[in-house]
Amino acid sequence: MSEGIIVIKKGREKPIIQQHPWIFSGAIDSVRGDPTPGDIVTVTNHEGAFLARGYWNPRSQIQVRILTWQDEPITDDWWRSRLHRAIKGRDRYVHLYSQETACRMVNAENDWLPGLIVDRYGDWLVLQALTLGIDQRKTLLAGLLMEIIAPNGVYERSDVDVRGKEGLKAAVGELAGQPPPERITITENDFSFQVDVRHGHKTGYYLDQRANRAILKDVCLERAASDTQNEQVRALNLFSYTGGFGLYALGGGAEYVVNVDASREALELAETNFVLNRFASDHAEFIQADVFDYLHDQVAEGALYDVIVCDPPKFAHNAGQVERAARGYKDLNLNCFKLVKPGGYLMTFSCSGAIDADLFQKIVFGALADSGRQAQIVKHLTQAEDHPVALTFPEGAYLKGLLLRVY
């Protein structure tokens, strides 16, 4: 076995030099040596000059994920120092929100650790290995995380579809330390949430929406304070999952929130979370329904809300799905516009990486035009700051949203 060398086609080295971390099969001229899938390989230009080093998977369209642009060996110490840097980068976050007990610690390509997600929930870490290169090293990485962060344990939630593109099956279970309890209680902006890291979505919870949930609370506070007709603020939380936005709405003085989700388990946990935060049950409703159908019925009934949050799952998984996804977003937003009281707010999101912020804004504009309403952009919204985006990796900015005032 000899070290693998990946030779890049002449004229295709520019993105690599500009530190984009992905090398697609079409940019590769030849593979020299005898690498095994998952191995560390050296990337050179057509003249043999060093460009980068990364891990290799010939089964994936992204054949190399770059780990470093320096000619340095990828040792256990290398992984330790990369993890350390990502974790240190969260110090600012920990300092800003000292009471918080949940945080993304490693954000894959954006922390120059492609394919690796690590989220902290209280005393446990949840690891997601999205690629073969990370999957092969997950025991080493879990051990290093035990050493650096000293959690009670590291649990794996590598049950995501993208692993299929790497030739990997789902993998779930303990990687290091003690197994996590059925539910972990976290604190976020003074609210408590129970997180099911074993069965919940992603690694258990949508940490990326933390800052936007806090913005929603402020919106509700303003709306409650400015309500001259002394009417109570009613909020609609679409795609509620475990109730995050809904809880913040009540925390911001909303009188009533309707949470809608297709998942019974998510709604059960949402109800538990409302009780945990001492909100009386007559202030919230938990409706299991398809949001598209529910909105249709609400419009027919002439329902109105002061504040609506619309946070659907990813509709476009690739460029080929953008058109269909756009129709879905437009339909949702059109009905949302119809349901907002004049002067009320719509907070609307897309987490589809294939739909950028400009396109999303155009889609929402299209929905507005059909609704006959008027709206202002009050804020552009994005993912929370523990989900930073590497400047050389625009794909990292997947969550976009608009806070709109609607008349």
The C-alpha atoms of residue 181 and residue 5 are separated, in whole angstroms, by 45
Of 46-54, 72-80, 179-187, 238-246, the segment contacting ligand SAH by CB under 6 A is 238-246
Contact present, 285 and 261 (Cβ < 8 Å): no
Nearer Cβ to ligand SAH (290/297): 290
What 3-state DSSP class applies to 242?
A: coil
List the one residue from 97, 112, 155, 206 that touches ligand SAH (CB under 6 A).
Answer: 206
- Strands 22-24 and 102-107, by their bridges, are unpaired
Stretch of residues binding ligand SAH (CB under 6 A), selected from 76-84, 242-250, 273-281, 383-391? 242-250
354 Ramachandran zone, left/alpha/beta (phi>0; psi -120 to 50) = alpha
- Binding flag, residue 112, ligand SAH (CB under 6 A): no
Q: Tell me the backbone φ, ψ of residue 25, rounded to 5 degrees.
A: -55, -35
- Half-sphere exposure (Cβ direction) of 278: Cα atoms closer than 13 Å: 2
Least distance to ligand SAH, CB of residue 13, Å: 39
Q: Minimum distance from CB of 205 to ligand SAH (Å)? A: 7
Q: Is 244 in the site for ligand SAH (CB under 6 A)?
A: yes
351 flagged as catalytic: yes
CB of 131 to ligand SAH, least distance (A): 24
Choosing from 44, 194, 209, 335, the residue that interacts with ligand SAH (CB under 6 A) is 209
Task: Considering only residues 280 through 299, tell me which ones interact with ligand SAH, judged by CB under 6 A.
Answer: 290-292
Q: Which of 100, 156, 196, 261 binds ligand SAH (CB under 6 A)?
A: 261
Q: Find the DSSP H helices in 67-150.
A: 76-88, 91-96, 132-135, 138-149
Beta strand 375-382 with 400-406 is antiparallel
d(CA 209, CA 310): 12
Asked if 239 is part of the footprint of ligand SAH (rule: CB under 6 A), the reply reads yes
Q: What are the catalytic residues?
A: 351
Residues that bind ligand SAH (CB under 6 A): 206, 209, 239, 241-242, 244-245, 261-263, 266, 290-292, 311, 313
